[in-house]
Amino acid sequence: MRSFSSWRRVDDNAIPARGKISGSYVNSALAKSEAVLNGFDEALVLNANGHLAEGSAENVFIVRDGVGITPPITDNILEGITRNTVMHLLRSELRVEVVERPIDRTEVYLADEAFFCGTGVQIVAIARVDHRPIGNGSMGPITARLRDLYFGIVRGRNEAYRHWCTPVYAERTISSLA
Ligand SMILES: Cc1ncc(COP(=O)(O)O)c(C=O)c1O
């Protein structure tokens, strides 16, 4: 369950929101802890203009009428690498149109689907916001297809995207070399 935070996203003219600047994580912590203390898992954070910015530490997409919509960089979001990846995969692999534009609070309530994305959270569906179901209140079909595709890629199972992955091998011990 998610809720809109009473905290607003840091502004570009205060602490640039586009970068992972340590001090700005107080903003993330305030939003996240408020959500958890109120019985929710995660917060949706609006910017000072009242437009959706992101989660406490993840970018956000909604889907309406088959179109993926995500807040623009100018709405004080972090320029996430997973957000870029998601836009690429939606457009190139799933043939889903993606639009970057401001999103109002109530448009989230009306969305067919919504999901968070980020290095930590990866891709996770948003099923309810402020106790209101998004779509039918469970993971939507575009989110499900995107998650399958993304997990296949990041786990090295998708040959076409193997170059996105860096192999990590266990170091050989001295005894195994002897
Ligand atoms: C505030 C914030 N927004 C969004 C993200 C997602 O960014 P990325 O996909 O680069 O991990 C993060 C990740 O740490 C973050 O801290």
Condensed to tens digits (0 to 9), the pLDDT of residues 133-157 reads: 999 999 999 999 999 999 999 999 9
Look at residue 169 in the predicted model and tell me its pLDDT. 77
Q: Is the CB of 110 under 6 A from ligand 1?
A: no
Three-state SS string over the chain comes to CEEEEEEECCCCCCCCCCCCCHHHHHHHHHHHHHHHHCCCCEEEEECCCCEEEEECCCEEEEEECCEEEECCHHHCCCCCHHHHHHHHHHHHHCCCCEEECCCEHHHHHHCCEEEEEECCCEEEECCEECCEECCCCCCCHHHHHHHHHHHHHHCCCCHHHHHHCCCCCCCCCHHHHC
Q: Is the CB of 27 under 6 A from ligand 1?
A: no
Closest of 121, 137, 115, 1 to residue 52, by C-alpha = 115
Say how far apart CA 35 and CA 44 lie, in whole Å.
Answer: 9
Q: Which amino acid is at 164?
A: W
**Torsion-angle region of residue 91: left (phi > 0), alpha (psi -120 to 50) or beta?**
alpha
Going from the Cα of 58 to the center of ligand 1, the distance in angstroms, rounded, reads: 5
Q: Say if residue 171's pLDDT is above 90.
A: no
Residue of the nearest CA to atom 14 in ligand 1?
57
Options 18, 20, 91, 157, the catalytic residue: 20
C-beta pairs of 135-140 under 8 Å, 24+ apart in sequence:
135/111, 139/113, 139/115, 140/63, 140/112, 140/113
CB 178 within 8 A of CB 155: no
Residue of the nearest CA to atom 10 in ligand 1?
80
Look at residue 9 in the predicted model and tell me its pLDDT. 97
Instruction: Return mean pLDDT, the chain.
Output: 95
| Ligand 1 atom showing the smallest separation from residue 84 Cα | 9
**Full-model pTM:** 0.93
Confidence of residue 95 (pLDDT cuts 50, 70, 90): very high
Residue of the nearest CA to atom 5 in ligand 1?
58
Residue of the nearest CA to atom 4 in ligand 1?
58
| Tens of pLDDT, residues 4-47 | 999 999 999 999 999 999 999 999 999 999 999 999 999 999 99
Active-site residue flag, 20: yes
Q: Given ligand 1 and candidates 45, 70, 73, 82, which is best to mutate, with the most ligand atoms within 8 Å of its CB? A: 82
Q: Is the CB of 118 under 6 A from ligand 1?
A: yes
| Tens of pLDDT, residues 72-82 | 999 999 999 99
Going from the Cα of 175 to the center of ligand 1, the distance in angstroms, rounded, reads: 41
